[in-house]
Amino acid sequence: MRKLLFILPIWLCLVIISPSYAHAIKIVVDAGHGGSDPGAIGINGLNEKDITLDIALKLQDQLVKRDYEVVLSRTDDRFISLQDRVDYTNKQSADLFISIHGNSYPSSQAKGTLVLYYDNQFPQSSYPASAQMESLTPISKAFAQQVLDAFINKLHTENQDIVPSSVYVVRNGTIPSVLIETAFLSNPEDAALLADPIVRSQMAEAIADGIQAFRPLPAKLAFTDINGHWAKDAILSLNEKGIVTGENHLYYPDRSLSRAELLTLLDRIHPFESLSEGYEKAVFSDLNEQHWAYPTFEKAIAAGYIRGYDDGSIKPDQAVSRGEAAALIDQFVEKTEPAPSTDGAAPQIDEGITDVPAAFTDVSADSWYAPAINHLRSLGILTGKTPDLFAPNKTITRAEIAALLDRWTDKNR
């Protein structure tokens, strides 16, 4: 990098992570600069692009020895644009991204090591971040701290802290991302360290130590963004049953749920009936065979679980309200409930439910979703935002649907 960024005081909330994994962890290692872009020029004549590539290659060796899967953005002296680096990373379905750099500053007194990450507490309107990086702030922050701690412990360079930053490669990706400024090429002492191949090997080893200390994918934490979340246990339970999945090891628990996603979850729990021969396809203006959930919609429409709107659409990607979710799920719950007894015997009573709770005050008795909400609540499957309020018109989140479906599948176990 060509200039020193402001150093801000940082505190870290510890991320508790298990040391065991169900599969290899994939790391993207990015050697900064390259080709026609030399990066900073050291006080001793070193090109930043050369030292970053050497450290990146050594880091690859270190990580492979530790059973990590590693890909590099470049393996030789070539120019790669910042957007191409991000695009390459996004295609890898990787778990972590780390960019290797050397620093520079007009004053030769500046020295030491810092690690940059994107922090949504310090947004810059001129440099917007991707939605994924916004939500990944606590994970990237913890990742940055682990890498910095390991580096300082091994190299004893001056600790310049972890730094919120809007540099391109840490604000535009989709996975936890950091950029390490290993040392200052503009400082005589730091430049001497970077010129020493043995020290560069130690730097690579230190970065690998930090990655190994962080390790975001333990066997019992399939998603890196649910640690400490109130719905974590429900999400993991449904994931183990093959009901919920994520993207790049992220679940996005607080994101709204679409109609397509909800139907897919219900189809996984109680598979929809196959289409009969001669089935006449329903036509909607916003649903075609290219939509990822088209087959699921076909079966759900044929079974009468879902209908379209008066304008000829079915809005497959529209966020589902809590009231709509309850109404749809209740259809499936009723199908799986035992039929009423016809032999004169008293009906079975669920011993887990000792009292039918009062109706939610914000669910009107004549609303179209009221019977479903009251039924699911009486079964102990559905809860409100508070004991008295259900918020039927608010969109349901992926965490809320996981909690609801987990309670339902537990009752049917």
68-72, 236-240, 398-402 — which is least confidently predicted? 236-240
Model confidence at 239: pLDDT above 80: yes
Do 274 and 133 have their domain in common? no
Residue 405 has pLDDT above 80, yes or no: yes
Q: Which of 187, 214, 241 is the last residue of a domain?
A: 214
- Domain hosting 334: range is 232-338+350-411
Same domain, 161 and 277: no
- According to the model, what pLDDT value does residue 16 have? 28
Q: Give the C-alpha separation, 253 to 133, whole Å.
A: 15
Confidence of residue 248 (pLDDT cuts 50, 70, 90): confident
**Average model confidence (pLDDT) across the chain:** 86
pLDDT tens readout for residues 280-323:
788 999 999 999 999 999 988 888 888 889 999 999 999 999 99
> Catalytic: 334?
no
252: in domain: yes
Is pLDDT larger for residue 174 or for residue 277? 174
pLDDT score of 10 more than 90 = no
Task: Place 209 in a pLDDT band, splitting at 50, 70 and 90.
Answer: very high
Burial class of residue 305 in the structure, from the number of CB atoms within 10 Å of its CB (0-12 exposed, 13-18 middle, 19+ buried)? middle
Residue 344 maps to a domain: no
Is residue 62 assigned to a domain?
yes
Burial category of 246 from C-beta neighbours within 10 Å (exposed 0-12, middle 13-18, buried 19 and up): middle
Asked if residue 400 is part of any domain, the answer here is yes
Domain with residue 133: its CATH number is: 3.40.630.40
Does residue 260 surpass a pLDDT of 50?
yes
pLDDT category of residue 180 using cuts at 50, 70 and 90: very high
User: Rounded to the nearest 5°, which phi and psi values hold at 78?
Assistant: -140, 155
Q: Which of 48, 158, 181, 298 is catalytic?
A: 181
| 260 and 201 co-located in one domain | no
Residue 332 reports pLDDT greater than 90: no
**Minimum mean pLDDT among 50-54, 204-208, 221-225, 377-381: which range?**
221-225
**pLDDT tens, residue by residue, 58-101:** 999 999 988 889 999 999 999 999 999 999 999 999 999 999 99
Confidence of residue 14 (pLDDT cuts 50, 70, 90): very low
Number of domains in the chain: 2
Q: How do residues 108-143 score in pLDDT, each as one tens digit?
A: 999 999 999 999 998 888 899 999 999 999 999 999
Same domain assignment for residues 239 and 144: no
Same domain, 184 and 45: yes
194 in the same domain as 154: yes
At 3 the pLDDT is 42
